[in-house]
């Protein structure tokens, strides 16, 4: 890859089978062996949530029941997740990346973007090669790296060769490397969006790139135009190291027509507020990592309460449920004059990371296979841990904090 006369050189660093790789780095005897991370490892009904490439070669897959995985691979080694160990490895990984440039943007526990435009002196592939080598030698962690002129193409490139791949994706190579892929393989397109696109004859990324803009807008709203631009390799987003400190919120409040203590009326108001917040969140394509409520009593005394969530949420029922829990936990049963709900610590829906909750993972896996969720949310390679957001909430937290998918950076 030649150094461009103008433009940027963006890397997307994506760790390979991160959780399994971390376990191997702590216990070298696991290297080269079929390893799986699973919930409820003592029970036959436990589910595989990630596995090494050696296990995958035996047919073991994410969301597969543990009994089935052991049937395919009797020598399978199964371990419980160790999240503190994974967070420590993640911090070490990002510290290493920052040795090459200050422009490092973490987007989840095991992936991030880098802008190395100003760091390049000769061969643009020198830095990604050095990064990959050092991560493997110093931290014993393999990764794949995408090299491209923007974040979207870098993200797509990093997914093209795993494990230990370095893939360059230039705009002039879209017709060869990107456009032939199924539209469902494109970062930012989930199952439902893919189904909608299929309904108008769009099967490949090429079809999307050449789709009718009016038809796409009618089908997907403003997202249709954005996806068409991405399919054509257009993405002007900058690598923003400060994005981990964003404090964004979407909220709504209402003054009741009369003070009330009627729980049905209060629930109706909370439901309407949750709907309003959800609509605005959907428009901005974000999820909330914290829910904040405002309660004003008839005597004008006002209190606020919030709860930091283990996983980002965006569904109306989830927002309503959390707001309702907060309200009835802190309401002193005096007449209410005003109620408000605010979604805080917002994260982009595309990049939102949801970690495993051992008590809810298997139920969530039944709702929608984990691998598909991962592929469509993060276009991951099967190592992320998914669960619904209302479970596993933390204790009330009224202090500011980073967005959930950056929590791994906290000491």
Distance CA 278, CA 284 (A): 10
Distance CA 305, CA 398 (A): 7
8 Å CB contact between 157 and 168: yes
**Pick the catalytic residue: 23, 54, 111, 350?**
111
Give a three-class secondary structure readout of 253-315: EEEEEEEECCHHHHHHHHHHHHHHHHHHHHHHCEEEEEEEEEEEECCCCEEEEEEEEEEEECC
User: Burial code of 228-264, b = ≥16 C-beta within 10 A, e = fewer?
Assistant: bebbbbebeeebebebbeeeeebbbeeebeeeeeeee
Is 111 designated active site? Answer: yes
Choose among 51, 74, 55: nearest CA to 63: 51
- The phi and psi torsions of 197 (rounded to 5 degrees) equal -65, -40
Q: Is 110 annotated as a binding residue?
A: yes
The number of angstroms, rounded, from the C-alpha of 206 to the middle of its chain's C-alpha atoms is: 26
Q: Is 268 annotated as a binding residue?
A: no
Distance CA 345, CA 4 (A): 37
The secondary structure of residue 249, as a DSSP letter, is E
Strand partners, 35: 77
Feature table: binding site for Mg(2+): 14, 110
Q: Which residues are catalytic?
A: 111
Residue ranges for the binding site? 14, 110
């Amino acid at each position: 890859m030649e150094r461009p006369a103008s433009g940027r050189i963006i890397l997307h660093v994506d760790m390979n089978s991160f959780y399994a790789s971390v376990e191997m780095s702590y216990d070298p005897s696991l290297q080269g062996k079929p390893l799986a991370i699973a919930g409820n490892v003592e029970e036959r009904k436990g589910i595989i949530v990630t596995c090494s490439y050696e296990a995958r070669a035996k047919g073991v897959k994410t969301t597969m029941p543990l009994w089935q995985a052991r049937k395919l691979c009797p020598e399978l080694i199964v371990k419980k997740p160790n999240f503190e160990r994974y967070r420590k490895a993640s911090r070490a990984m990002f510290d290493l990346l920052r040795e090459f440039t200050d422009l490092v943007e973490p987007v989840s526990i095991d992936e991030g973007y880098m802008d190395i435009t100003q760091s390049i002196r000769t061969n643009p592939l020198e830095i990604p090669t050095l990064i990959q080598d050092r991560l493997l030698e110093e931290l014993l962690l393999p990764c794949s790296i995408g090299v491209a002129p923007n974040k979207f193409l870098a993200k797509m490139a990093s997914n093209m060769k795993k494990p230990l791949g370095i893939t360059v994706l230039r705009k002039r190579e879209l017709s060869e490397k990107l456009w032939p892929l199924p539209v469902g393989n494109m970062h930012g397109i989930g199952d439902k969006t893919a189904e909608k696109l299929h309904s108008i004859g769009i099967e490949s990324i090429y079809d999307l790139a050449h789709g009718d803009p009016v038809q796409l807008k009618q089908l997907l709203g403003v997202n249709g135009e954005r996806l068409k631009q991405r399919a054509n390799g257009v993405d002007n987003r900058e690598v923003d190291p400060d994005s981990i400190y964003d404090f964004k919120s979407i909220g709504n409040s209402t003054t009741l027509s009369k003070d009330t203590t009627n729980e049905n009326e209060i629930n109706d108001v909370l439901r309407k507020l949750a709907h309003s917040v959800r609509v605005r969140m959907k428009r901005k394509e974000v999820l909330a990592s914290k829910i904040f409520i405002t309660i004003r009593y008839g005597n004008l005394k006002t209190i606020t309460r919030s709860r930091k969530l283990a996983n980002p949420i965006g569904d109306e029922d989830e927002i309503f449920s959390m707001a309702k829990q907060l309200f009835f936990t802190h309401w002193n049963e005096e007449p209410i004059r005003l109620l408000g709900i605010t979604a805080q610590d917002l994260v982009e829906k595309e990049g939102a990371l949801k970690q495993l909750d051992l008590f809810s993972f298997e139920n969530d896996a039944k709702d929608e296979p984990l691998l598909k969720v991962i592929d469509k949310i993060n276009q991951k390679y099967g190592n992320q841990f998914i669960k619904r957001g209302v479970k596993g909430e933390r204790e009330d937290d009224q202090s500011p904090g980073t967005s959930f998918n950056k929590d791994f950076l906290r000491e």
